[in-house]
Amino acid sequence: MAEGEDMQTFTSIMDALVRISTSMKNMEKELLCPVCQEMYKQPLVLPCTHNVCQACAREVLGQQGYLGHGGDPSSEPTSPASTPSTRSPRLSRRTLPKPDRLDRLLKSGFGTYPGRKRGALHPQTIVFPCPACQGDVELGERGLSGLFRNLTLERVVERYRQSVSVGGAILCQLCKPPPLEATKGCTECRATFCNECFKLFHPWGTQKAQHEPTLPTLSFRPKGLMCPDHKEEVTHYCKTCQRLVCQLCRVRRTHSGHKITPVLSAYQALKDKLTKSLAYILGNQDTVQTQICELEETIRHTEVSGQQAKEEVSQLVRGLGAVLEEKRASLLQAIEECQQERLSRLSAQMHEHQSLLDGSGLVGYAQEVLKETDQPCFVQAAKQLHNRIARATEALQTFRPAASSSFRHCQLDVGREMKLLTELNFLRVPEAPVIDTQRTFAYDQIFLCWRLPPHSPPAWHYTIEFRRTDVPAQPGPTRWQRREEVRGTSALLENPDTGSVYVLRVRGCNKAGYGEYSEDVHLHTPPAPVLHFFLDGRWGASRERLAISKDQRAVRSIPGLPLLLAAERLLTGCHLSVDVVLGDVAVTQGRSYWACAVDPASYLVKVGVGLESKLQESFQGAPDVISPRYDPDSGHDSGAEDATVEALPPFAFLTIGMGKILLGSGASSNAGLTGRDGPAASCTVPLPPRLGICLDYEQGRVSFLDAVSFRGLLECPLDCSGPVCPAFCFIGGGAVQLQEPVGTKPERKVTIGGFAKLD
């Protein structure tokens, strides 16, 4: 039984060793220097958090032309095995040059030493090309001497070496061949010794006799991490610089105002984070394996898809080649036919000319005919011959080849085709569209307008996605509403919810697939259903001073000569009329919203609502604006009405003039214009591009809003005991444009007397 238990224990220990050895072997690639591709030897931590061997770093800096900046010479190993002068204990007593003096001599490009003024030259900044991230890392003016050694990485490398070479003995570095097995190590000497060599190199009565022996090892490290600037043990961690510092560094101006914590706190925090991250990874090994399988499947699909793409491209190019070959054959055939036709004509012409030679052909025949003495027979034969001779004579006098020898008309202009073939490339998906924020808005419907970037491939159609952001978030992925295959660069989203915030985005699609989404655009919908109405100038409106557009959605006040004459007689108590335009609808229930734009150059315009009966009664006549008893509203106004009246006012107006809005002291504003103890004094705010009016008939409240951002400007009570109408008052020049509903007609632009209608 004992032997069985011992065997089981031995088997468990061997399995554990095998697992550890396998784990260590799998992480070998993490322990290779990116420069020499060997195990790290005295690795240094670069500012980019990558590691590199100290010797490799010095070699890289030497190749970059930085001579003498390879680090602190005192960091070089000075083991007896590597230093010939220390072979003898007597020679080892010789004093070496001080490291700081050698450092000053080597660093000739910067630093301060006797005979040189501080700050005489700008300090040289050393740039190290990191082989891991392929980036240039600034090491400062101290070079590698300002970097920390990665002692933890050295320990991991040593454990890995021991796991790989299990049972391998560490040999003495000072023995003559063959070396004996090392039994001791010395951190000060940085070497391993057998018993005899340790006694030889640590004689009694010398300073080396005080060295404490350690276990033999292949790597010697300092007992603790030392500050490269002050050679002091690091005790704190600077979170601002993300660097370990010592006590002297902590009090320097370099770290003044930085957040510095003890090393223990940083150690515990980083260890907790690393432990949690590692625990999460180890606890989700199934997910990792699933993702690995998915990546493997993606790799297989990529290989298959890539091969298919190659075959498709090859087939298309072969098709182009076949078309070109067919075209080449047809063109050559056309040239051949033209050539044969010309040769035939030229050959016939040449035969005709050859018959004109003496003693041959036509000439010989004519000579024989001339020998005929019978006159009737001669006339009969010579008539036909004379015609041929006449044609030959004319051809001889006006000789031209029957066909041209040039084939210029058969030349091809392939410049356009060559350009197309040169520009032949793969299809690209459309780039992310750009939302036109100047033309995109929400009113009774949402109008969305966009465009593609200048150099974007064309899109066949678009996909619009939208959702509400003011609804409670539901578990799971965010659900978007989608509208597919939208043609053109604009779209209407009908029946949006009132008082909501919508986020919208667009992406294009062509044969290559879907492109990227545009940036999200957020739109506020009106707080109440939109009221559609037209302007009615029958009450209080003077046709001489008011011009209403044909579509009855815009009005302009034209003062003209009567107002100038009235202004000249202001001191004599003239009557100056207030021009009023009402809406052609009356609200008797529910909540309603409408928007308008006021010309910033208007002198005085009042926008609001009022009881229809009171409006008709008050503005039928021509009130005296000079009299102190003049009250243009007889109700609530943002100008200067008394807020202590118990009865609800029949009117509610917002006063606009010269690009400003006057908010009176008697109004309660949602824009932060009221103080802690009561309403603030009268003030003005800039005029927004559009004004919104929201009427709550049941509550008897009117709210004036910025129709772009839906920021509240003014809220006041209103007497809603009867029908309530929209109203617009003008004193002097001014213009108002009602916002046109999105769904009534296509967008267009109308100009009324120089006042542009807004889109």
Which residues are 556's β-sheet partners?
547, 735
Highest mean pLDDT among 58-62, 172-176, 290-294, 421-425: 290-294
Q: Can you give the pLDDT at residue 194?
A: 87
pLDDT over 70, % of the chain: 73
Tell me what the mean pLDDT of segment 580-608 comes to: 91
| Cβ-contact 152, 143 below 8 angstroms | no
- In tens, the pLDDT along 79-136 reads 454 443 343 333 333 344 444 444 443 443 444 444 444 444 455 677 788 888 877 8
| Cβ-contact 46, 52 below 8 angstroms | yes
Tell me what the mean pLDDT of segment 278-288 comes to: 87
Distance CA 324, CA 329 (A): 9
Tell me what the mean pLDDT of segment 204-215 comes to: 80
Q: Can you give the pLDDT at residue 540?
A: 52
- Collapsing DSSP states into helix, strand and coil, what is residue 446? strand
Of 446, 449, 581, 464, whose CA–CA distance to 526 is shortest?
446
Measured in whole angstroms, the distance separating CA 469 from the mean position of its chain's CA atoms is: 23
Distance CA 169, CA 335 (A): 89
More confident: 79 or 537 = 537
Which residues are 724's β-sheet partners?
587, 611
Amino acid at 298: T
233: left (phi over 0), alpha (psi -120 to 50) or beta: beta
Of 633, 692, 708, 630, whose CA–CA distance to 666 is shortest?
633
Tell me what the mean pLDDT of segment 660-675 comes to: 54
Amino acid at 391: R
Residue 681 CB neighbours (<10 A): 9
Q: Can you give the pLDDT at residue 436?
A: 93
Tell me what the mean pLDDT of segment 303-318 comes to: 91
Tell me what the mean pLDDT of segment 347-354 comes to: 81
Q: Can you give the pLDDT at residue 703?
A: 94
Of 523, 515, 519, 530, whose CA–CA distance to 467 is shortest?
523
User: In a 10 Å sphere around its CB, with 0-12 CB exposed, 13-18 middle and 19+ buried, how is residue 611 labelled?
Assistant: buried
Highest mean pLDDT among 404-418, 476-490, 513-527: 513-527
Distance CA 71, CA 76 (A): 9
**Distance (Å) of CA 374 to CA 173, 253, 378, 385, 508:** 141, 141, 6, 16, 99
| Cβ-contact 255, 247 below 8 angstroms | no
3-class SS letters over 180-231: CECCEEECCCCEEECHHHHHHHCCCCCHHHHCCEECCCCCCCCCCCECCCCC
Q: Can you give the pLDDT at residue 690?
A: 92
Q: Can you give the pLDDT at residue 259?
A: 83
Q: Can you give the pLDDT at residue 595?
A: 94
- In tens, the pLDDT along 672-716 reads 333 334 444 568 899 999 999 999 999 999 999 999 888 999 999
CA angle 196, 199, 204 (to 5 degrees): 160
For residue 543, is pLDDT > 80? no
Distance CA 63, CA 99 (A): 24
Q: Can you give the pLDDT at residue 22?
A: 58
3-class SS letters over 387-433: HHHHHHHHHHHCCCCCCCCCCHHHCCCCHHHHHHHHCCCCCCCCCCC
Highest mean pLDDT among 70-74, 134-138, 167-171: 134-138
Q: Can you give the pLDDT at residue 117?
A: 44
- In tens, the pLDDT along 743-758 reads 664 443 333 333 333 3
- In tens, the pLDDT along 226-271 reads 777 777 778 888 888 777 888 787 777 777 778 888 888 888 888 8
Q: Can you give the pLDDT at residue 507?
A: 95
Tell me what the mean pLDDT of segment 528-537 comes to: 88
CB crowding 368-395: b at 16 or more within 10 Å, else e? ebeeeeeeeeeeeeeeeeeeebeebeee
Place 294 in a pLDDT band, splitting at 50, 70 and 90.
Answer: very high
For residue 48, is pLDDT > 70? yes
Q: Can you give the pLDDT at residue 655?
A: 92
| Cβ-contact 282, 288 below 8 angstroms | no
3-class SS letters over 691-736: EEEEEECCCCEEEEEECCCCCEEEEEECCCCCCEEEEEEEECCEEE
pLDDT over 90, % of the chain: 22
| Cβ-contact 725, 736 below 8 angstroms | no
CA angle 504, 507, 512 (to 5 degrees): 165
Two structure tokens written together for 630: 């003049």
Q: What are the E-state strand segments in 496-545?
A: 501-510, 513-514, 521-524, 535-536
DSSP 97: P
- In tens, the pLDDT along 327-345 reads 999 999 999 999 999 899 8
Tell me what the mean pLDDT of segment 361-369 comes to: 75
Of 588, 443, 654, whose CA–CA distance to 529 is shortest?
443
Within the chain, what is the greatest distance between any pair of CA atoms? 161
Of 622, 714, 616, whose CA–CA distance to 665 is shortest?
714
Distance CA 240, CA 494 (A): 53
**DSSP calls for 343-397:** HHHHHHHHHHHHTTSTTSHHHHHHHHHHT---HHHHHHHHHHHHHHHHHHHHHHH
Place 474 in a pLDDT band, splitting at 50, 70 and 90.
Answer: low
476: left (phi over 0), alpha (psi -120 to 50) or beta: left
Average pLDDT of the chain, as a whole number? 76
For residue 536, is pLDDT > 60? yes
For residue 573, is pLDDT > 60? no
DSSP 115: T
| Cβ-contact 33, 146 below 8 angstroms | no
Distance CA 256, CA 396 (A): 111
Q: Can you give the pLDDT at residue 753?
A: 34
Residue corresponding to tokens 């490398």: 157
**HSE, side-chain direction, 13 A CA sphere, residue 269:** 8
Two structure tokens written together for 114: 């006797």
Q: Can you give the pLDDT at residue 435?
A: 94
Of 449, 494, 528, 495, whose CA–CA distance to 705 is shortest?
528
**Distance (Å) of CA 612 to CA 111, 287, 536, 619, 651:** 89, 71, 12, 11, 10
* Total residues found in the chain within this entry: 759
**HSE, side-chain direction, 13 A CA sphere, residue 712:** 15
Q: Can you give the pLDDT at residue 190?
A: 74
- Collapsing DSSP states into helix, strand and coil, what is residue 594? strand
Two structure tokens written together for 270: 């980083």
- In tens, the pLDDT along 606-641 reads 999 998 888 877 765 444 443 333 444 444 444 444
Backbone angles phi, psi at 295, to 5 degrees: -65, -40
